[in-house]
Amino acid sequence: MHYERVGMELRQLKYFLAVAEELNFARAAERLHMTQPPLTVAIRKLEEELGVKVFERTTRRVQLTEAGERFRERAEKIVLDVAAAKQDAADASDGRVGRLRVGFVSSASYALLPHGVRQFRADHPRVELELVPAASGEQVEALLEGRLDVGILRDPERVPGLELTPLVQESLVAVLPADHPLAASREIAPAELARFPLVLFSYPLMPGYVGRVLEAFEGGPRLNVVQQAVHQETVLGLVAAGVGCSVLPASVGDALLPGVVVRPLSGAPLTRLVAARGAKGSALGLRFIEALTAS
């Protein structure tokens, strides 16, 4: 398909529309902050490029021709579309419009993520927000490959190419079946918990978090890990089923299943939720992290 080259400029369309609205060259020139002769020349050049007359001009009045009326409809749309495109580009650069892909670990979905998402959507109604549940290890890979714009990870290690922003710090707690021998304890020592079967996250998928848990057990008996899981909800289900005990962030207390209890761990080991984005990430991602930190 071949297109005829058109040398028309946006400036010419604005000149034409000013004259079409005023139907007076002198008033149109004043409105455009220019003198009348250059405006007259610009309109004559436009007519030459179009190959038709857009104005009927006499000494007494200026009137749009039928061709001018039709051209006015198109010209108005073009000028509005260009203005809208310019605004969209500015909004995208400033993080007010676009599409944002956010990964999150399951333990972020109880309080931090819902509040942050509500705030972000209220402030950025033109942004398409895609939320992707994923383990920390999966998110790091997706962030580096550009499949995610922002990640909410638990206890991530420093990764070249990613900027990390601390969000929440909380204690680790023991999670047990309600009928477990340790359930009556007010506080549980990691060495005591280590004597029982455990359900933990998979190390390749949650390396930083599993590392924190192992640090809490350091120096105690060898762990008896009977089951590995990916999501916190799965861990809770396995604990409820009596498969074993676990160690989870204290926020799990907001989403306990029947028959499951939590108890503090002595020494109060800590875990962190952290936001991650590419070092050259968009302003949109930064605005989302700001909404999370404001929550």
Tens-digit pLDDT profile for residues 243-286: 999 999 999 998 889 999 999 999 999 999 999 998 777 888 99
**Bigger pLDDT: 93 vs 237:** 237
Cα 262 to Cα 239: distance, rounded to the nearest angstrom: 11
For residues 141 and 87, the model is more confident at 141
Distance, in Å, from the CA atom of 254 to the CA atom of 137, rounded to the nearest integer, reads 25
Amino acid 96: pLDDT: 62
**Could you tell me which residues are beta bridge partners of residue 163?**
277
pLDDT attached to residue 7: 57
Domains of the chain: 10-93 (1.10.10.10), 98-167+273-294 (3.40.190.10), 170-270 (3.40.190.10)
Sign of CA dihedral 150, 247, 267, 256: positive
Q: CB-based burial of residue 194 (10 Å sphere; 0-12 exposed, 13-18 middle, 19+ buried)?
A: middle
The structure's pTM equals: 0.69
Q: Residue 84's pLDDT is what?
A: 78
CA distance 23 to 168: 64
> pLDDT tens, 94-130?
656 689 999 999 999 887 899 999 999 999 998 999 9
